[in-house]
Amino acid sequence: LLTFGTGIGSALFVDGRLVPNTEFGHIEVDGHDGETKAAASAKENEGLSYPDWAKRVNRYLSVLENLVWPDLIIVGGGVSKKAEKWVPLLQIRTPITVATRQNQAGIIGAAAAVAEGIAH
């Protein structure tokens, strides 16, 4: 799960178990902290169009994909409310889906993990 907002939040599950301390927003992409170029705040701060921002997100996801080769990427955060404007522009191998709870996905997932006793 990746949430695009002020930064890029992340959660990685392997075989149903949460992997702790995955700060995927901070992976290096072309010499920069990934979230400085691909977070939703970068789109807003730099006045990027959705297509221009999607190119940055695509590059970020390509680096992430080569690092962990996920089975699925779920995107959330406030910008997921406009997913139709940028998700179809992404061209990576991994299937991408939009979190059904959009901006609330991260907090709901964290609460569910506690409630269901998902350990790391």
Question: How far is 16 from 119, CA to CA, in rounded Å?
Answer: 9
The token pair that represents 13 in the structure block: 């599950």
96 Cβ partners below 8 Å, 6+ apart? 61, 72, 73, 74, 75, 87, 90
Question: How far is 30 from 32, CA to CA, in rounded Å?
Answer: 6
- Interval 7-47: pLDDT, tens: 999 989 898 888 888 899 999 999 999 999 999 999 999 99
pTM above 0.75, yes or no: yes
- Residue pair 103/79 in contact by the 8 Å Cβ criterion: no
Domains contained in the chain, number: 1
CATH number of domain containing 57: 3.30.420.40
Domain range for 90: 2-116
Q: What is the mean pLDDT of residues 91-102?
A: 88
